Amino acid sequence: MDTSSVPQDPSPTYEGQRKLLYAVDDRGEYTGVQSAGWEVETFATLAAVAELDRLREDAWTRALAGQTSALEFHMFDRRMELDTLAATTGIWKWRIRRHFDVQRFARLPEHLLQRYADAMGISVARLRTVPPREGTP
Amino acid sequence: MNQFSHRQSAHCESGVVSAMMSHHGAPMSEPMAFGLASALTFAYIPFVKMAGMPLIAYRMPPGAIIGAMSKRLGVRIERRKFRDPKAGMAALDEQLARGRIVGLQTCVYWLPYFPEAMRFHFNAHNLIVYGKEGDEYLISDPVFEVSTRCPADALEKARFAKGAMAAKGLMYYPTEMPRELDYKKLIPAAIRRNERGMTKAPLPIVGIRGIRYLANNVLKLGRRNDKSLTLYLAHIVRMQEEIGTGGAGFRFIYGSFLQEAGRLIGSDALLEASKKITAAGDEWRRFALNATKMCRGRMPMDVQALADIINTCADKELDAWRVMKAI
C-alpha cells in the first residue's frame, strides 16, 4: 500500500481516534501512517455491532413478553453470547440455557445469580429485572 | 514517576515489546519486534468459535511476541499471574512504586477509554502501565495516539475477566536486558522459523494451505448466499483489518520488518521479499474492498471472484517465502 492510498474516511467507530498503518512512501520506504478510518473496515465493525444489537433487541422483546428470562437480555446487553457467558462464569451452556426459562430463573439461588452478575459487572438486583422499553406500550 | 514516552503502534503486543525494549535502552521498532518473533502466520480454525464465527488468525497466538522477547532476544522477563485480584493490583502498585513500567494483559470490553463500537469481549489485549495518580492508572495503550488513564476498578475488571484466553491478571516486566543483539544471527533465524510455519505446517488449516482453505470455505458458504454470508465475510474483514493489524492482516508490518532487516544485514533478497509480501498485502486489501462492496450490494455477489483473490494472496505469499528461503 502506498502512503497516498492510506484511507482517511473518518470512522464513527474510532470516535475521532486514528490508528497506525504501515505503508510505502514515494521513495519506496516503509513508514507508519495514521489513518482516520477505512469505509470497508467500518462496515465490517458496524455489521458485527448491528448483529449484537439485533440479538439484544430480540431477547429484550421476548423477555418483556415473558418468553425468556432477564438473564438472556442482560447477556446480550453486555455484548456476550452463550459461549462467552459460559466461559466467563464457568457454568455449562446447557445449564445457562435452562436458566433462560423464566420460572427456573426466578428460583435461582443467590450464589448462582451472583456468579452471573459478577461476570457481567452488574448488580444482582439489576440482573433480576428486565428494564422497561421507552416508548413501547 | 517514570520517564516514559508513549509511541503509537499498529498492534498491541508488538507495540508493548517495542516500547519496553526502547524504554530499557535497546531501541527497537514495532515491525522489528514483530518480525524477530516470527509472529506472522495464517490460521483458519473452524472449531474455535468467537461469537459463533471461526477463529481466523493472521499472527501467532497472544503471548508469542512476548515469549520471543525472552526466548530469542535474551531478555529476562518476570511474568506473574494471580488468583486474587486484590493481590494482583497490589503487586502492580508495588512495581510502579519502584519506577518500573509494567505490561498487562487485559480484556478490551472493560477498558472505558476504548471507543464503544470496539468494546468486544477479547481477553488478550496488551498495554503498559507507567504510573498511578490517586485512583487512576497512567496507561500507554500502544494502539492509541496518546497515553491515557484508567480508573483502578475498571483496570482490575479488565485484568481479571474470565473466559477464553483469560489473562488471570498477567503482568510482566523485563528484569535483565541482553548486552547486545546480534541481528546477523537473529534475523535469518526468525525468518527461517516463520518460513517453516507458513509453508510446511503439518495442518491443512495453517499457513499457505490455510489461506486456500479459507478460499474454499468462502465458496462453500457462498452457495447458501443468505445473511450469514454477509456476516461471515464481514468477520473475515474484521479479523484482517480492525483488530490492530497495521493493514492487510499484519502483511504490511512484516513488509516493513523485511525492509528494515534487509538494510540492517545488507540482504537484497529481503528487500525483494519485502516488495513481494507488500504485493500480497495489497491483494488482501483488494479482497476486503470487494467483499464489502458485494455485501453492500454495490457489486453483484460473486464468491468465485472472492475465492480467486484469496488464492492469489496465497500464491503471492508463497512467492515471497520462496525468496526468503535462500536467507
DSSP secondary structure code for residue B10 in this structure:
S
pLDDT of amino acid B225: 63
**pLDDT digits 0-9 by tens, B59-79:** 998 899 999 988 999 999 999
Show the beta-strand stretches assigned E in B30-176: 40-50, 53-59, 76-80, 102-106, 125-133, 136-140, 148-151, 171-176
What mean pLDDT value characterizes chain A?
A: 92
Distance between B274 CA and the closest CA of chain A, angstroms = 10
> Is B244 in contact with A19 (Cβ distance < 8 A)?
yes
Q: Give the mean model confidence (pLDDT) for residues B14-32.
A: 94
Quote ipTM for the complex.
0.92
A137 belongs to a structural domain = no
Residue A43, in any domain of the structure: no
Chain B residue nearest residue A30, CA to CA: B256
Question: Which residue range forms the structural domain that includes residue A123?
Answer: 50-128
Out of B115, B164, B289, closest to residue A87 by CB: B164
Question: Which position has the grid cell 472493560?
Answer: B110
Domain boundaries defined on chain B = 12-176, 183-325
Q: Is residue A135 part of a domain?
A: no
Residue B2 has pLDDT above 60, yes or no: no
Is A59 found in the same domain as A31?
no
Mean pLDDT value across residues B224-252:
87
Mean pLDDT of B138-159: 95
Compute the average pLDDT of residues A88-105.
95
pLDDT at residue B325, rounded to an integer: 87
Residues 6+ apart with CB under 8 A from B80: B91, B169, B170, B171, B172
Average pLDDT (A12-26) is 90
Is A130's pLDDT higher than 90?
A: yes
Of the candidates A21, A87, A89, the beta carbon closest to that of B10 is on A21
Choose among A1, A40, A46: nearest Cβ to B252.
A1
Whether the Cβ atoms of residue A106 and residue A98 lie closer than 8 Å to each other: no
Decide if A136 is inside a domain: no
For B258-262, the CB contacts below 8 A with 24+ separation are B258/B35, B258/B324, B259/A29, B259/A30, B260/A30, B260/B29, B260/B31, B260/B32, B260/B35, B261/B32, B261/B35, B261/B183, B261/B187, B261/B191
Choose the closest CB to A44 out of B120, B162, B237. Answer: B237
Say yes or no for a CB contact (<8 Å) between B117 and A12. Answer: yes
| A·B CB contacts under 8 A | 130
Residue B305 has which C-alpha cell?
A: 471472484
Q: Which three cell numbers stand for residue A18?
A: 486514528
The architecture in CATH of the region B12-176 reads Alpha-Beta Complex (3.90)
- pLDDT at residue A110 tops 90: yes
Same domain, A15 and A59: no
Q: Exposed (0-12), middle (13-18) or buried (19+): which is A18, by Cβ within 10 Å?
A: middle
**Average pLDDT of B106-118?**
92
User: Cα separation of A30 and B236, whole Å?
Assistant: 25
Neighbours of B298 (CB within 10 A): 9
Nearest residue on chain B to A121, judged by CA atoms?
B157
Residue with cell 526468503: B324
| Nearest CA distance, B81 vs chain A (angstrom) | 17
Within 141-180 of B, beta carbons closer than 8 Å to A belong to 143-145, 157, 161-164
Which grid cell sits at B58?
493472521
Q: Which residue of A has its CA nearest to B118?
A: A13
In B82-182, alpha helices (H): 85-97, 152-159
Local structure of A35: helix, strand or coil: strand
Flag if A30 and B143 touch (Cβ within 8 Å).
no
Side chain identity, residue B277: I
Report yes or no: B13 and B65 within 8 Å, Cβ to Cβ.
Answer: yes
What's residue B227's pLDDT?
73
pLDDT band at A137 (very low <50, low <70, confident <90, very high): very low
Asked if A25 and A58 sit in the same domain, the reply is no
Give how many domains chain A has, as a whole number: 2
